[in-house]
Amino acid sequence: MPDLARRGGLGDVRSVWLAFAERFRWLAVVLGNHDEIGPRNRDLEKVARTPRVHVLDGGVAELDDLRVGGVHGIIGNPTKLNRQTPATFVEKIESVLSEGADVLVLHEGPDAQGPDGRTLRGSADVREALEGAGLTRPPLVVCGHSWWPHALVELAGGVQVLKVDARVVVLERAR
């Protein structure tokens, strides 16, 4: 991945996804704004057909009784790689929420207030979609893109946001 040697570089993440898919029961993924699967994602559909790999962009996969949904990329100019208009991004979040996702995987997450009162970087559009959903059982939102000093923040309506940028997080189902 030569373009990833500098901040803001672009690179093919296929080798990482496929290595994880070989070692784990399943893999639920979304593309970040610096990720490619072949030039301009031309090989995305092929990789999406790989056993145990679930590429999510507005859809939900049932994985061991866990409903996982996701949305690719970030909000921005849709002519640029892995960017969607605010309306499209929010529409996909709403679709995933309406399908009853237990976990929502996003690259770009919501903005939020940290426990120290500090404003945490993210998208107000995403936050408003999550807080306005009025769900009785909101999903756990897992996102990256920007770093927060707090790994876990709760939004209005009980939506928990787990920020994984620059972190390793292992989730295990309680028995």
The whole-number pLDDT of residue 3 equals: 55
**Looking at residue 79, which CATH number applies to its domain?**
3.60.21.10
Structural domain contains residue 24: no
Structural domain contains residue 109: yes
Rg (C-alpha) for the chain, rounded Å, is 16
How many domains in the chain? 1
Structural domain contains residue 20: no
The whole-number pLDDT of residue 10 equals: 84
* Nearest partner of 128 among 102, 104, 109, judged by Cα: 109
Structural domain contains residue 37: yes
The whole-number pLDDT of residue 136 equals: 87
User: Residue 139 is part of which domain span?
Assistant: 30-42+56-163
DSSP 60-88: EEEETTEEEEEE-SEES-TTSTTEE-HHH
Angle at alpha carbon of residue 101, lines to 99 and 171, rounded to 5°: 165
Structural domain contains residue 130: yes
Tens-digit pLDDT profile for residues 71-110: 999 999 999 999 999 999 999 999 999 999 999 999 999 9
Structural domain contains residue 15: no
Which tokens go with 64? 């061991």
Structural domain contains residue 13: no
Average pLDDT, consecutive stretches of 10 residues, N- to C-terminus, the chain (175 residues)? 62 94 93 93 94 96 95 97 97 96 97 94 97 91 94 94 86 72
Structural domain contains residue 25: no
